[in-house]
Amino acid sequence: MSSHSHNQSDTGNASGAHSTWQVSRTPVKGKGVVGAKTPQAVDAGLAMLAKGGNAIDAAAAAAFTAGVTEPWMNGLGGGGFMVVWLATERRSLVIEYPMISPLAATETMFPLSGGVDAALFGWPSVVDNANVLGYRSIAVPGTVAGLALAVERYGRLPLATVLEPAIVAAEEGFPVTWHTTLMTAKDLGNLQRFPSTAKVFLNAQGNPLASLEQTNPTILRQPDLAATLRAIADQGPRAFYEGELAARIVEFLAANGAIITRDDFAAYEALDAPTITTGYHGATVHAAGKGTGGTSLSQALRMLDRVDLAASGHGTPETLHLLAQAFRQAFADRFAYLADPDSNEVPIDALLDPEYAAECVARWREDGLPAIQAGTKARLGVSHTLAGSVPEYAAHRDGSTTHLGAIDAEGNAVALTQTLLSGWGSRVVAEGTGVLLNNGMMWFDPEPGRPNSVGGRKRPLTNMAPALVTRGDGVVASVGSSGGRKIMNANAQIISNLVDFGMDAHAALEAPRIDASTRQLIASSRFPRATLDRLGALGHAVVTRDETLLTGDFASPIAIERGEDGTVIGAADPWYFPATAGAASQSH
């Protein structure tokens, strides 16, 4: 491959110009839309709308089904956040269901081995990779509690009805695509280490499942997971946390050295919490708060609300320079201060203070890149003496998150992001249950004495940042992405595309983006060469990425937009093969 192919696409080389691969995905339009990362999840959500359910029912059904059909990304053994807009009440809320550390977790439970593990978040390496792989990496999962709470309080259909598509997908199976094979092959060595996992996801020879022809596809069936889902449908969500299911999971983990107990499972509760709301150029953005990506997304938008991106133009060096400065400030403050506010002193109100946003913007420069640093403890009112976490972050190559959204005919809306954290999480399936468990302990800084260090019954700092956009009394968009630390930058740019530049969901999602979650400024090779050169001249360490290589350099979004006439448009990431948006014609 010629070296220029992943640096720029608008120029040729000495041998002449090359042809380019153009990728797009058609948008959908209807009275209601569900968008997700697999077609089965979308169909599950649309089925709920057809049964008279609302966007909450649709999103929960899609989320349960996504855990079956996209198991490397999410599932019953993970956690997440669901931002909800209730049309009749004209209010937003967030259902919080993150993974939580076991009570016995301590700051020193992961001895350091020296160096930095590039597969992680720039944390120090841990002996035996124990915070990443295997039984000690597992945190208490929240998905079952969270999705069930959302359906119980705000849905219209019984939980058993919402679970049915996921049960069918697990019981009857679904065709394995090249994408399934690739996701399995990428982590084959780790999956082979755990017999209970290999039995579900690998063939008899220990190789990835593969379909060699469309007329005779290989089917991935998960009968143990189907039985688990059916038990939750029959007995309710607490069966997962306090019943025979919980006992089976905990006993299996304890026998293999995990520190999770029955009490940890029994103590888990999802929360119905307020959103962070941020005024942004005439619209309002509703996001998850606390130690999530939503806090950093909101901080970036509060800074960007003070500049006129529309005037500087879409995709211009001037606009991209402003975006990058906002993103870098939000990341600097994130690594210095953000953590679980129930376990730490975290200056969330100070970080989101309009005066602080104004001070940060006043330090920006038009003619160069200023030295961007976290706010001081004195300025933000922080009394602790803990050191900030390491902000460096290598190429994101070990992530697993899914995102989905739904808007129904009445204007109820959901943006939902959930995860196992790493690809395939801990790589541990609890024997006999089909439940693939997270490695949520990897989110904590393994070094003691930091706001986000390991602790008992503590929420780790997460990147998930689902968001809804409203204008006046109604929702206008559901936005979110998968992609680790790249999520926040992607979501902010899509929101800006919608609000500042009047793009529809499809154009907003498919436009080229930058990412400032590393010390480099990652930029799409679809930007003109002159734009990239100007950013370099302004002081950015610009590195271009060719999206056609499908290496996921800019997060993977879903965007759904509702027009003034009630028409809903849905768009899904063109660079992520199974991503899908589907429209419903029914109105109930």
Residues with a known catalytic role: 401
Phi, psi of 179, deg, nearest 5? -65, -40
The alpha-carbon radius of gyration of the chain (Å, integer) is 22
Name the helix (H) or strand (E) containing 429.
strand 428-430
Number of neighbours of residue 243 by Cβ within 10 angstroms: 17
User: Which residues are registered as beta bridge partners of 587?
Assistant: none
282: phi > 0 → left, psi -120 to 50 → alpha, else beta; which? left
Task: Please report the beta strands in 132-282, taking only residues with DSSP state E, as ranges in sequence order.
Answer: 174-175, 219-220, 271-273, 276-280
Query: ∠128-134-135 over CA atoms, to 5°?
Result: 115
**CB-based contacts of 338, cutoff 8 Å, min separation 6:** 291, 295, 296, 346, 348, 451, 452, 461
Residue whose tokens read 């063939």: 203
Q: Residue 543 gets which letter from DSSP?
A: E
Sign of CA dihedral 443, 444, 445, 451: positive
Q: What whole-number distance in Å separates Cα of residue 334 and Cα of residue 495?
A: 20
Name the helix (H) or strand (E) containing 335.
helix 317-337
User: Which residues are registered as beta bridge partners of 403?
Assistant: 417
Q: Is 121 helix (H, G, I), strand (E, B) or coil?
A: coil
Smallest CA-to-CA distance from 2 within 582, 539, 496, 525 is with 525
